[in-house]
Amino acid sequence: MTRQPYVWSCDASRSLISRVFGRDCGQAGSKVSVHSLADRSEYIKQMKMLLNSKDFRERIKAIDQLVRDCEENPALVISSLFPVFDALKARLQESNSKVNLRALEALQPIIALLRDSLAPVLNILIPAVVDNHLNSKNSSISTAALGAVQALMHNIDNSLLLQPFCSKAQYLSGKAKLDLIERVLVTELYPRRPQLVEQKVLPLFWTLLGSSSNSGSVRTAAAKLAEALHAHMGQTLLENAAASQPTNVQSDLKQALLDFFDASDPEIKRSPCEAPDIYYQV
C-alpha cells in the first residue's frame, strides 16, 4: 500500500502551539524571536512527550509538527535544540522503519530552515543518519538518508561537517563509506581552512591507503582524494607521508599520483625514479 504523507492541520498543531504561545494556529505566521524560560520548558516537555509516544502514528505526527515549528517558530526550536533533537535522534534510531523514514525525510526541510543553527547538534544528527541508514537495504530509507546528507552540505558550512564525515568514513563500510568519502570537500575547503583539512582529512586518507580490504570503488575514491590533496599540498603531502607513514602507504600514495598524472597526460612518461613529481617529456 502506498504510504500517504501526513498533512499538517491547524487542529493538529493547536494542541501544542496554542498552549505554548497562547494563540490560535491562524496567528502562527508571525515569527517569535524571544521566549521565556516557561515557554521553552513547556515546549520541550510537550515535544518530548509526543516524540516518545507509544503510538508510532503519534510519533510521526510529532515529527511533522517539528517541521512546522521550525518554519513558524524557529527561535523556539533553536532555544530548545539539545533536548528536542535528542528526542528526534531516538526516532532516527528506533526499530520502526516508518518512523525512521519520516524522520529522515523531515530532516531535509529542518536543515534548510535552521541551517548553521544546527551546528551544536551535528554530532547527534550525523551518526543517527549515517550509521545505519546509508547502508539500509530499504531503498526509500537509504535515499532519504542520502538526501539528509546532501541537505547538510547545501545548507551548513562544510567546515562544520568535515570532522564528523571524516570520522565516520574511516569506520563505516560499503556504500556509506563511499558516500562520505566522496563528500569530503578538499577542493572547496582547503583554500580557506588548510590546517583544518590537513588535521581532519589526512588521518582518513592514510587509513584508506593503508587498508588492503577496500573495494575497488573505495580505492578509486581514495585516488581522487589523493589528487585533490596533492593539488593543494604539492610535495608537502609526500613529505608528510615520508615522515609519518609506513613504506606501503608511501608507495601506494606515489602510485596513485603516478597513475593520475599518466592518465591526465599520456605524453608524459615517468622516469625510473619512483618520486611522482619527477617526469620527463617524450
pLDDT in tens, 157-176: 999 999 999 999 999 999 99
**What's the pLDDT tens digit per position in 25-56?**
444 333 434 557 778 999 999 999 999 999 99
pTM of this structure = 0.80
3 or 224, higher pLDDT: 224
Asked if residue 173 and residue 280 are part of one domain, the reply reads: yes
Asked if residue 227 and residue 152 are part of one domain, the reply reads: no
Asked if residue 198 and residue 120 are part of one domain, the reply reads: no
Cα(256)–Cα(253) distance, rounded to whole angstroms? Answer: 5
Cα(241)–Cα(243) distance, rounded to whole angstroms? Answer: 5
Domain's final residue, options 156, 188, 205? 156
Asked if residue 233 and residue 96 are part of one domain, the reply reads: no
Strand pairing category for 279-281 and 268-270: antiparallel
Q: Compute the average pLDDT of residues 200-211.
A: 92
pLDDT at 153 (0 to 100): 96
- Please give the C-alpha separations between residue 62 and each of 46, 56, 166, 243, in angstroms, as whole numbers: 10, 10, 32, 53
pLDDT at 28 (0 to 100): 38
Q: What is the span of the domain harbouring residue 107? A: 1-156
How many domains does one find in the chain?
2
Q: Compute the average pLDDT of residues 256-262.
A: 77
Residue 141, domain CATH: 1.25.10.10
Report yes or no: 238 and 274 within 8 Å, Cβ to Cβ.
no
Asked if residue 119 and residue 186 are part of one domain, the reply reads: no
Asked if residue 114 and residue 126 are part of one domain, the reply reads: yes
Asked if residue 64 and residue 197 are part of one domain, the reply reads: no
Cα(263)–Cα(169) distance, rounded to whole angstroms? Answer: 27
- Does residue 234 come out as left (phi exceeding 0), alpha (psi in the -120 to 50 range) or beta? left
Q: Is the pLDDT of residue 149 over 60?
A: yes
